[in-house]
Amino acid sequence: MSKYDIIVLGSGPGGYVAAIRASQLGFKTAIVEKSELGGICLNWGCIPTKALLKSAQVFEYLKHAEDYGLKVKDAEHDFNAVVKRSRDVAGGMSKGVQFLMKKNKIDIINGYGTLKPGKKIDVDGTVYSADNIIIATGARSRELPSLPQDGEKVIGYREAMSLKKQPKKMIIVGSGAIGVEFAYVYNSLGTEVTVVEYLPNIVPVEDEDVSKQLERSFKKNGIKVMTSSEVTSVDTSGKGVKATVKTKKGEEVLEADIILSAVGIKSNIENIGLEDVGIVVDRDKILVNDYYQTNIPGYYAIGDVTPGQALAHVASAEGILCVEKLAGMHVEPIDYGNIPGCTYCTPEIASVGLTEKAAKEKGLDIKVGKFPFSASGKASAGGNKEGFVKVIFDAKYGEWLGCHMIGAGVTDMIAETVVARKLETTGHEILKAVHPHPTMSEAVMEAVADAYDECIHI
């Protein structure tokens, strides 16, 4: 029986990062993976979707070249080539993780891993033991009873990334990050897209002003948006698919070639031996303490299988913290109130902290500032005037409670707020930190200035 200091079950952005940090700290480490290294995020999520989004964005630029004083005749796209590029990008990244495993002397155990009592893992009949086991098995597309996925007419995000033929009409159920990103991709490439959202606003976790702006942008680009609506049944018996949608005005039947179910994710906790070991699970999540220890000594869990936000960067941070704690290092628990969220449709969305509504519900006295990109020189020059930056501060102490952005490149701007909040920076300090001109990032300073009635450019 092979013995390790740490075995990681799952090689997604939580698992492979935890394994590398463990090796750096001197632990003899192995990682168990049933499929491709890098997990869903790298192979079927974060990375390949960004490749699809970039192709869609470039095609949009070509179609609107005249807005920039350029002429492009008869711009066309090759759907299969777009998909191939996305798969090639994912494949290259997976090979990169393989290189990192080799570089850090981490043993890769290919196969299906099942947890066993006594800190052991059975991988397709071969048993391995470790002083510590980290569970990082991630999540998959969640299925609704009214929307069973058949992989052909009713699909999840995985199939949406590798369709053989572009659909003429697509219904997307759910308007979280996955739903709106695919809505942008397929609409840009010419598919007629309808987004169906159960809640009153699309991207419902975002500030309401952001949700309303994205809905306006989507509708302007020809995407049909149905909020406060629910798909109650689907009929796949014909050539395409029919969806019965319950709305405020009554039932409506939509027809399409394909339905994409983007109603969230389901943790991969079945059939991995949790029951045999006695690890406690509640509402589809493995319960852990601040350092990712389960109720059974020697077994840890990170990433989408735990109650924190189901985001790649959260899983990575949890993996690093978990291993550093095992190494005896002094570590601080993660502040889940300061986790940035990013959505990569066009316009992009990025946010961290409290929304205006949440701050008011807490009874806080707040200052709110907002700066539109229509007043930004860099945004105007780039032809990206849609959107804004919105900031929320505690009126008494100047604490930066939240920041919400929608516009071009905002996913690359949100880190300023995350770091500032980590350092307990006040609005005054942001105002006096000189921001470069002309940049999109100036909008952060301008929004803060607006909150304190000092804005120059609006």
* SS3 letters across the chain: CEEEEEEEECCCCCHHHHHHHHHHCCCCEEEEECCCCCHHHHHHCHHHHHHHHHHHHHHHHHHCHHHHCCCCCCCCCCHHHHHHHHHHHHHHHHHHHHHHHHHCCCEEEECCEEEECCCEEEECCEEEEEEEEEECCCEEECCECCECCCCCCEECHHHHCCCCCCCCEEEEECCCHHHHHHHHHHHHCCCEEEEECCCCCCCCCCCHHHHHHHHHHHHHCCCEEECCCEEEEEECCCCCEEEEEEECCEEEEEEECEEEECCCEEECCCCCCHHHHCCCEECCEECCCCCCECCCCCEEECHHHCCCCCCHHHHHHHHHHHHHHHCCCCCCCCCHHHCCEEECCCCEEEEEECCHHHHHHCCCCEEEEEEEHHHCHHHHHHCCCCCEEEEEEECCCCEEEEEEEEECCHHHCCHHHHHHHHCCCEHHHHHHCCCCCCCCCHHHHHHHHHHCCCCCCC
The pLDDT assigned to 187 comes to 97
The annotation places the binding site for NAD(+) at 174-181, 197, 264
| Known catalytic residue at 64 | no
Sign of CA dihedral 356, 209, 54, 193: positive
Q: How many Cβ atoms sit within 10 Å of the Cβ of residue 70?
A: 10
The pLDDT assigned to 1 comes to 64
User: How long a stretch of residues is the chain?
Assistant: 458
The annotation places the binding site at 50, 113, 174-181, 197, 264, 304
How far apart are alpha carbons 341 and 350 in whole angstroms? 6
Name 250's Cβ contacts closer than 8 Å, sequence gap at least 6.
none
Task: Determine the distance from the C-alpha atom of residue 9 to the mean position of all C-alpha atoms in its chain, rounded to a whole number.
Answer: 21
Please provide the CATH number assigned to the domain covering 347-451. Answer: 3.30.390.30
312's tokens: 């790649």
- Per DSSP, what are the bridge partners of residue 245? 231, 252
For residues 392 and 356, the answer to whether their CB atoms sit within 8 Å is: yes
β-bridge pairing 366-372 and 388-394:
antiparallel
The annotation places the binding site for FAD at 50, 113, 304
Q: How many Cβ atoms sit within 10 Å of the Cβ of residue 333?
A: 11
The pLDDT assigned to 44 comes to 86
Tell me the pLDDT of the chain (458 aa) as tens digits: 689 999 999 999 999 999 999 999 999 999 999 998 998 888 888 899 999 999 999 999 999 999 999 999 989 999 999 999 999 999 999 999 999 999 999 999 999 999 999 999 999 999 999 999 999 999 998 999 989 999 999 999 999 999 999 999 999 999 999 999 999 999 999 999 999 999 999 999 999 999 999 999 999 999 999 999 999 999 999 899 999 999 999 999 999 999 999 998 999 999 999 999 999 999 999 999 999 999 999 999 999 999 999 999 999 999 999 999 999 999 999 999 999 999 999 999 999 999 999 999 999 999 999 999 999 999 999 999 999 999 999 999 999 999 999 999 999 999 999 999 999 999 999 999 999 999 999 999 999 999 999 999 99
How far apart are alpha carbons 111 and 101 in whole angstroms? 16
For residues 401 and 394, the answer to whether their CB atoms sit within 8 Å is: yes
- Per DSSP, what are the bridge partners of residue 255? 242
The pLDDT assigned to 372 comes to 98
CATH architecture for residues 2-141+266-336: 3-Layer(bba) Sandwich (3.50)
Name 288's Cβ contacts closer than 8 Å, sequence gap at least 6.
294, 300, 301, 302, 306, 307
Strands lying side by side in the sheet with 400-407: 341-343, 348-353, 400-407, 388-394, 366-372
Name 10's Cβ contacts closer than 8 Å, sequence gap at least 6.
31, 32, 33, 39, 135, 136, 137, 138, 268, 303
Name 282's Cβ contacts closer than 8 Å, sequence gap at least 6.
none
The pLDDT assigned to 19 comes to 98
For residues 141 and 164, the answer to whether their CB atoms sit within 8 Å is: no
> Which residue ranges make up each domain of the chain?
2-141+266-336, 154-263, 347-451
For residues 305 and 286, the answer to whether their CB atoms sit within 8 Å is: yes
Q: One of 64, 428, 437, 457 is an active-site residue; which one? A: 437
Same CATH topology for 2-141+266-336 and 154-263: the answer is yes
Identify the CA nearest to 49 among candidates 212, 137, 176. 176
- Mention the CATH class of domain 154-263: alpha beta
